[in-house]
Amino acid sequence: MLKLYIGNKNYSSWSMRPWVLLRQAGLPFEEVMVRFDSFAADSAFKQQLLALNPIGKVPVLLDTEVDGGLAIWDTLAIAEYLAEKYPQAQLWPSDTASRARARSICAEMHSGFAALRTHCGMNIEAALPEIGQLVWRDQAAVRSDVARIVAMWSGLLERHGGPMLFGEFSVADAYFAPVVMRLKTYALPVPAEISAYVERVCALPAVQAWVQDALAEKDFVVFDEPCRVSR
C-alpha cells in the first residue's frame, strides 16, 4: 500500500503535486495529513515527519509493500518512483524527447521561480488580487518568473496541441498545478491561452478534489498568512 504524507491542502504546494498525480492517474493510496503547527524542531509536525524522513518535510510517500517500508521524499523522486512502479499509468510522455523536456521543466520548477514562491505563496482559500497588483507592480523578479512560465507553457501547448502541456495529463501538469493556484489567487496577468490552460487544469477531477478539501479545512495557519490577519 502507498501512503502519502502531506501538509495542509490550502497551503502546501509541494504536497499538492504528488497527490494530484496519484489521484488523477487513478493510483490507489492512503492520504495522511500532518497539520502545519510549526516548523520548529520540537513541533508535532516535525516530530511526526522526522520519524519518516531525515529532513522532516512533506510530502513523503511510504510504500508499505517494501520490506520495512520504503519512504521516498522530494516530489521529483516520488514522481519517478511512481512512474517506475506503475508504467501502465504513463505518467511521463511516451516519446524520449518529450519525456526529457518534461523532466527538464519539472526540475526547473523544483529549483527555480523563487520570487513567485516568496511573494505569492499558495493560499487556495484566499482571493488576493490587490496583493497581486502590488506584487506585479513592485517585484520585477515575479514578472520575470511569470514571463518564463508563460513562454514555457505557450510553447508546449503549441507544440503538443493541448489540452495539457504534453497533450495528455502528465507529471508536468501535476507539478505546475500549484502555480495555477497562485495565478488564480493573486490574479496575475497572463495571456488568454494561458488563462485557458489554467481553467483546464482547475477542471481536472484531481485538482477539483484537492481544492474542495482545501476549502473545507478552514484552518488559519498564521505563519503561512503574510497577507491576511484572519479568515
pLDDT at 69: 92
Query: Which residue, among 75, 49, 73, 48, has the nearest Cα to 63 in the 3D structure?
Result: 73
Q: Using CA atoms of 16, 117, 71, 49 in order, give the dihedral in degrees to the nearest 10.
A: -100
CA angle, residues 122, 123, 128, in degrees to nearest 5: 105
Query: Which residue, among 104, 96, 203, 206, has the nearest Cα to 155 in the 3D structure?
Result: 104
pLDDT tier for residue 20 given thresholds of 50, 70 and 90: very high
Please provide the CATH number assigned to the domain covering 2-89: 3.40.30.10
19 CB contacts (<8 Å, ≥6 apart)? 4, 6, 9, 31, 59, 206, 210
Q: How far apart are CA 51 and CA 44, in angstroms?
A: 11
User: Is residue 129's pLDDT more than 90?
Assistant: yes
Residue 226 DSSP label: S
Task: Locate 197 and state its grid cell.
Answer: 490552460
User: Is residue 230's pLDDT more than 90?
Assistant: no
Buried-state track 161-183, b at ≥16 Cβ within 10 A, e below 16: ebbbbbbebbbbbbbbbbbbbbb
Average the pLDDT over 105-132 and give the result.
Answer: 97
Report whether 75 contacts 18 (CB < 8 A).
Answer: yes
Residue 68's region, left for phi above 0, alpha for psi from -120 to 50, else beta, is left
Q: How far apart are CA 148 and CA 33, in angstroms?
A: 33
pLDDT at 67: 86
Please provide the CATH number assigned to the domain covering 96-213: 1.20.1050.10
User: Is residue 118's pLDDT more than 90?
Assistant: yes
Residues in the chain: 231
pLDDT tier for residue 94 given thresholds of 50, 70 and 90: very high
- Domains of the chain, by residue range, sit at 2-89, 96-213
Q: How far apart are CA 69 and CA 52, in angstroms?
A: 10
pLDDT at 231: 85
pLDDT tier for residue 37 given thresholds of 50, 70 and 90: very high
- Which ranges constitute the DSSP H helices of 113-227? 114-119, 129-138, 140-160, 171-185, 192-202, 205-217
- pTM of this structure: 0.97
Average the pLDDT over 182-205 and give the result.
Answer: 98
pLDDT at 58: 98
